[in-house]
Structure 1
Amino acid sequence: MCSDCQSGDTIIDVRKIAPRLRHPMIFNAFENLSAGEAFVIVNDHDPKPLHYQFAAEYPGTFDWVYEQQGPEVWQVRVSRTAA
């Protein structure tokens, strides 16, 4: 599914998760990452609002890289750059 994912990246496919549970689950996963670790979010729409929320809550501690940008599937690699 994630052809560009690095070995060991956790994949979080939120397409089948209730919308109200998605962001808390993603933030929990991020908080459990060590510097240099990452996960990939798979979604059916651009998670840009989530990026804004990351920027507000975790400034300077993450990288956000689109690995696939639609039209049906979006994949974003989120990595922790600092604790």
Structure 2
Amino acid sequence: MHGVLTEGRVGKEGLVVRVLERGLMPSAFGYRRLYILSKGAGRYIIGHRFGRAEAPYYFLVERADIFGFLPEEKVVLYEISLGQENFVKGETLDLRPLEHGIRHSLVMERFSKLKEAETFFIVNDHDPLPLYFQIAMNFPGKVGWEYVDYGEDFWKIRIWRL
């Protein structure tokens, strides 16, 4: 994970506490999360809302809502995850060689066949965040989304059914 200063697990229920220093790429999980911005400022996305926050500030992210934070300066952002995912690992779809016009429909079709906790990965040549919104609109409260790796022209995303 990019920019994780510290991570710790508390108890059997899987409560995870992390301290992030570089913000967070947008993600959606099957459990609630609490983020506390104790230092700095930045822009965020939570659900379908965008905004700007300065410390001290907190975000309560509900199950299946997307959340991301882009710092404008040095930040300390605490993440408290109130659960954990149990994935059934799946295939990787490399979308880069495919025509742009068929990529979304291919991913939507693949997602529609998933059972709860089943996952697959996509690899793309640009940030596929608009695809998240398209899937989430068609499958409300059922989409898990996580940036696994990313670079200038490479994004690998884990997608799963909540």
Q: Which category of TM-score, normalised to the shorter sequence, fits these structures? A: 0.7 to 0.9
| Gaps in structure 2 of 5+ consecutive residues | 1-86
**CA root-mean-square deviation:** 1.5
Higher share of residues assigned strand: 2
Q: Which amino acid aligns with 1:41?
A: I
Normalising by structure 2, report the TM-score.
0.44
CA contact (8 A) 2:88 2:118 kept: no
Normalising by structure 1, report the TM-score.
0.84
Higher relative contact order (CA 8 A, sep 6+): 1
Higher share of residues assigned helix: 1
1:47-72 CA distance string (max 9 Å, x none): 01101112211110011000012212
Task: Count residues with an aligned counterpart.
Answer: 76
SS of the residue aligned with 1:40?
strand
Aligned counterparts, 1:9-28, within 5 A = 9-28=90-109
Superposition misfits of 4+ residues, deviation over 2 angstroms: none
| Gaps in structure 1 of 5+ consecutive residues | 1-5
Q: Percent identity?
A: 36
SS of the residue aligned with 1:77?
strand
Corresponding residue number in structure 1 for 2:37? none
Q: Which amino acid aligns with 1:22?
A: R
